Structure 1
Amino acid sequence: MHLVFDFDGTITQKDTISELVASAVNKPPTSRQHGLQTAWGRVVEDYLADYKQYTANHRPSEAERTSVAQEVRFLAGMKRVEEASLDRVGRSGVFAGLKPDDLYQAGVDAAEAGRVEIRDGFREIVELAGQRGWQTDIISVNWSSAFIRGVLHPYSIPITANGTSTDGHIHGPESLDSRLTTSTDKLKALNHVAAGTQDRVVYFGDSTTDMECLLHQDGVVIAADEESSLPQTLRRVGVEVPHVGKRRDARANVCWARDFGEVLASETLEE
């Protein structure tokens, strides 16, 4: 078996980009911090404006997208929006001058201080994978693989994610020919890490950037409840998403769970 995890909001209790950026902004001398905070604020505003325009103009609209293919096309179209935003992040200078070791330590500090929390059951599921000889991987659209490694410093799991250069720009993982930003990008990464094996792949994710990976073979949506955003999106496009405890009865390839403890209790990984 091959367990593949998203990072933000899946392994972690919530998204960590704000913590990553705060770590970067607070690193330079105090005299530069206000300017970086202002620059970051503009990055966020511009991204939200682009996203709003894209979603407003895309056809079919959200309510009219009722198939997986329609939703995948919508998500793929976000590539332009995401790439433009990453370019702005680079120009903002937020990560300029920071080395991978700096961001690794920022991840360690955030985890040890409790600012980034790991979801219940993750340690146990990784331990089970080790005992069974299962392969594990992380695929993330996060901007810093070094930061992820820092947060997860007690673990040794291969990570496919973006990285930052010392000039502050964001680059893609070495294994891909582009930056990792969309659902389609993550599926390419999944195909890469799963190449050459016939093992059953179980993917864990929490957002629409995980959609194609979740549907690849077997998927577990990490969500607070069945009315969370991603389960609703999947149901809208015709994919039933039972709770992990009812997965076997429903014969579903995708299910949802609140945490990894529920996954272990369900015996989903024993099938």
Structure 2
Amino acid sequence: LILDWDGTLTKKDTLHLIGTIGTNALRSRGIDITRFHPQQDPDEPPWNTFGRLYMSDYAALQSQYKPTPEERRSVADEAAWLAALEPVELASMRRVEESGFLKGVMAEDVRREARRAVENGEVQLRREWERVFLEADLRTSVLRKGEKGILAKAIQDCRIDANEIEGLDDPQGASGKLSKSGALGIRTSRDKLRLLRCEQGVKNNLRRETNLVVYVGDSATDLECLLAADYGICMHDEP
């Protein structure tokens, strides 16, 4: 069983919490956060600026990409569009890394923000989510594009494939780099598909035909996995 994270296990996206972690960590050290803006705007939080610039790049690509959404008629067409988003993702990661916004963040900063977000209901998992992890003879993986922090330690029997803030456990804190910018980062639908293929390879090597690979996701970046799995389950809160 392979589960997407944001919008699948959780009720809504959680990526913004990375911005909160960075901002609170900097403020706790008495550092002026405006110095980390990729484009100076003292009235805009740094993480909001990163998001705005990402959406600007996304819109620019979408406006010139062919075929247009209305002209795309096949899975191959849609997969090609999703793959074309990789430069947009990489550019966004470079902005975050080069700004130094996450440099010096510690594992405890992540733990503290995770506790706060869960306690105040900012992060909510879907009702009866824990039943998924209690099923017998179930190999479970969770895929997410955001950073995994210490989530892997909380669910011992579940493998988590996710991007990470590098160096959280170093004495001096994180380097400011993101594993998402590396060759094995999870950035696009194609990256999620690569991990799904690995699970299918394990199943084939075990020669257990009764084993099934089930993928559960909610967004466009899950499309290829939903179609490639033995069973794809698409979750959506709206009709």
TM-score band w.r.t. shorter chain = 0.7 to 0.9
SS at match of 2:49: helix
Identify unmatched segments of 5+ residues in structure 2. 37-43, 167-173, 205-210
Alignment of 1:236-251 (within 5 A): none
Instruction: Indicate the residue corresponding to 2:31 in structure 1.
Output: 32
Residue 128 (structure 2) pairs with residue 121 (structure 1): yes
Cα distance change on mapping 1:200 and 1:140 into 2, 3 Å: same
CA contact (8 A) 2:79 2:224 kept: yes
Report the TM-score when normalising by structure 1.
0.73
Aligned position for 1:239: none
> Which position in structure 1 is the counterpart of 2:177?
169
| Structure 1 position 121, deviation (Å) | 2.5
Tell me the CA shift for residue 6 of structure 1: 0.6
Distance in 1, Cα, partners of 2:107 & 2:200: 26
Task: Name the counterpart of 1:13.
Answer: 11
Determine the C-alpha separation between the residues in 2 that align with 1:16 and 1:42: 17
Q: 2:53 aligns with which of 42, 46, 57?
A: 46
Is the alpha carbon distance of 1:23 and 1:172 closer, same or farther for their aligned partners in structure 2, counting shifts above 3 Å? closer
Q: What does the per-residue CA deviation read over 1:142-163, in whole Å, with 9 as the maximum and x for residues that have no partner? A: 1x1215447xx35641111111
CA displacement at 1:105 relative to structure 2: 4.2
Question: C-alpha root-mean-square deviation of aligned residues, in Å?
Answer: 2.2
CA–CA distance in structure 2, aligned partners of residues 185 and 22 of structure 1: 26
Point out 4+ residue stretches in structure 1 off by more than 4 angstroms.
none
Residue of structure 1 in register with 2:100 after alignment = 93
In structure 2, how many angstroms separate the alpha carbons of the residues matched to 1:101 and 1:191?
34
| 1:214 corresponding residue in structure 2 | 226
Structure 1 pair 112–193 and aligned structure 2 pair: CA distance change class (3 A): farther
Cα contact 1:103–1:146 (8 A) shared by 2 = yes
- Verify the 8 A CA contact 1:145 1:163 in the aligned structure 2: yes
| Secondary structure, aligned partner of 1:140 | strand
Q: Name the % identity.
A: 29
Residues 39-74 of structure 1, C-alpha deviation per residue, up to 9 Å, x if partnerless? Answer: 323312211110001111110101111110000000
Closer, same or farther: CA 134–179 of 1 in aligned 2, 3 Å: same
* Contact preservation (8 Å) 1:26, 1:33: no
1:225 alignment counterpart: 238
| 2:203 equivalent in structure 1 | 197
Partner in structure 1 of residue 185 of structure 2? 179
| C-alpha contact (below 8 Å) 1:163/1:171 kept by paired residues | yes
Q: Is 1:59 matched up with 2:66?
A: yes
204 and 41 in structure 1: CA distance in 2 versus 1, 3 angstrom threshold: same
**1:86 positional shift:** 0.7
Which region of structure 1 is more displaced relative to structure 2, 155-164 or 203-212? 155-164
Partner of 1:159: 160
From 125, 135, 138, give the equivalent of 2:139: 135
Indicate the larger mover: 28-37 or 119-128. 28-37
* Distance in 2 separating the partners of 1:13 and 1:149: 19
Q: What CA distance in whole angstroms lies between the structure 2 residues aligned with 1:89 and 1:215?
A: 33
Give the Cα separation in 2 of the matches to 1:63 and 1:74: 12
Structure 1: how far apart are the matches of 2:87 and 2:6? 21
The answer for the alignment partner of 2:149 in structure 1 is 146
Corresponding position of 1:248: none
Structure 2: how far apart are the matches of 1:212 and 1:107? 30
Query: Within 2, Cα distance between the matches of 1:204 and 1:104?
Result: 27
Contact 2:162 2:186 in 1 (8 A): yes
| Structure 1 residues 62 and 147: alpha-carbon distance in aligned structure 2, compared to 1, 3 A threshold | farther
Whether 2:88 is the aligned partner of 1:81: answer yes
Structure 2 contact 4–216 (Cα < 8 Å) conserved: yes
1:264 maps to which residue?
none
Unaligned runs of 5+ in 1: 227-271
CA shift, 1:33, in A, is 5.3
Q: Offset at 1:101?
A: 4.6
Task: Return closer, same or farther for 1:172/1:45 CA change in 2, 3 Å cut-off.
Answer: closer
Specify the SS of the correspondent of 1:139.
strand
